[in-house]
Structure 1
Amino acid sequence: MNKTLKLAAAYIGVTLMLAGCGKPQDAVIPNDMSTWDKDLAPKIQKLSDEDKKLLTGYLMRAKMGEAFGGKGVPIGTTVGQGIEEQKKWVAEQEAKAAEEKALKEKIERERAAAAEAIGKAVTVALIEKKELASNYRAGRYGEEQVFKIAVKNNSEKEIAGVSGELEFIDVFDKTVGSVTFSISEKIKAGAEYVWVGSRRYNQFIDSQRAVWNLEDGKYKTRFKPETVVFADGAKLGSPQ
Structure 2
Amino acid sequence: MKRFSFLPALIMITLFITSCGSSPLNRKYSDDKFMMDVKAIKESKKLSDEDMRLLAGYIIRAKISGEKLETMTYAEMLKKAQDAVAGQKALADKTAKEEAEKRTRLGAAVNVALYNIGYVKGDFQDHIQYDLAFENKSGKDIKAVKGSLLITDLFDKKIKELDIVFDNGVKASETFKNSYSTDYNQFMDEDKELRAKSIKEVKFVFTPEKVLFNDGTSLE
Q: 1:185 to 1:192 in 2, by over 3 A?
A: same
1:169–1:177: 8 Å Cα contact kept in structure 2? no
Query: Secondary structure at the residue paired with 1:59?
Result: coil
Does residue 230 of structure 1 match 2:219?
no
Count of aligned pairs: 175
Corresponding residue of 1:134: 122
Listed one character per residue, the Cα deviations across residues 5-55 of structure 1 (whole Å, up to 9, x for unaligned) are xxxxxxxxxxxxxxxxxxxxxxxxxxxxxxxxxxxxxxxxx9525653333
Query: Which residue of the other structure, out of 209, 213, 237, is the alignment partner of 2:192?
Result: 209
1:148–1:195: 8 Å Cα contact kept in structure 2? yes
The AA in structure 1 aligned to 2:94 is K
Q: 1:53 to 1:221 in 2, by over 3 A?
A: same
Query: Secondary structure at the residue paired with 1:58?
Result: coil
The AA in structure 2 aligned to 1:131 is Y
Measure the CA separation in 2 of the matches of 1:93 and 1:167.
34
Q: 1:69 to 1:117 in 2, by over 3 A?
A: closer
Measure the CA separation in 2 of the matches of 1:215 and 1:72.
54
Corresponding residue of 2:110: 122
Query: Which residue of the other structure, out of 30, 34, 46, is the alignment partner of 1:59?
Result: 30
Residue 179 (structure 1) shift? 4.0
Listed one character per residue, the Cα deviations across residues 99-146 of structure 1 (whole Å, up to 9, x for unaligned) are 3332222112111111222332222222433222232xxxxx121222
The AA in structure 2 aligned to 1:99 is G
Measure the CA separation in 2 of the matches of 1:73 and 1:169.
48
Q: 1:209 to 1:191 in 2, by over 3 A?
A: same
Residue 94 (structure 1) shift? 4.5
Q: What is the percentage of aligned positions where both structures have the same residue?
A: 22
Measure the CA separation in 2 of the matches of 1:145 and 1:221.
16
Q: What TM-score comes out, normalization by structure 1 length?
A: 0.57
Does residue 151 of structure 1 match 2:134?
yes
Measure the CA separation in 1 of the matches of 2:80 and 2:65.
22
Measure the CA separation in 2 of the matches of 1:68 and 1:222.
40
Residue 185 (structure 1) shift? 3.1
Corresponding residue of 2:149: 165
**What stretches of structure 1 of length at least 5 have no aligned partner?**
1-45, 75-81, 136-140
Larger Rg: 1
Measure the CA separation in 1 of the matches of 2:169 and 2:67.
59
Q: 1:91 to 1:67 in 2, by over 3 A?
A: closer
Measure the CA separation in 2 of the matches of 1:211 and 1:101.
31
Query: Secondary structure at the residue paired with 2:108?
Result: helix
Q: How much is the aligned-residue C-alpha RMSD, in angstroms?
A: 3.6
Query: Which residue of the other structure, out of 48, 52, 60, is the alignment partner of 2:19?
Result: 48
Q: 1:125 to 1:54 in 2, by over 3 A?
A: same
Corresponding residue of 2:201: 219
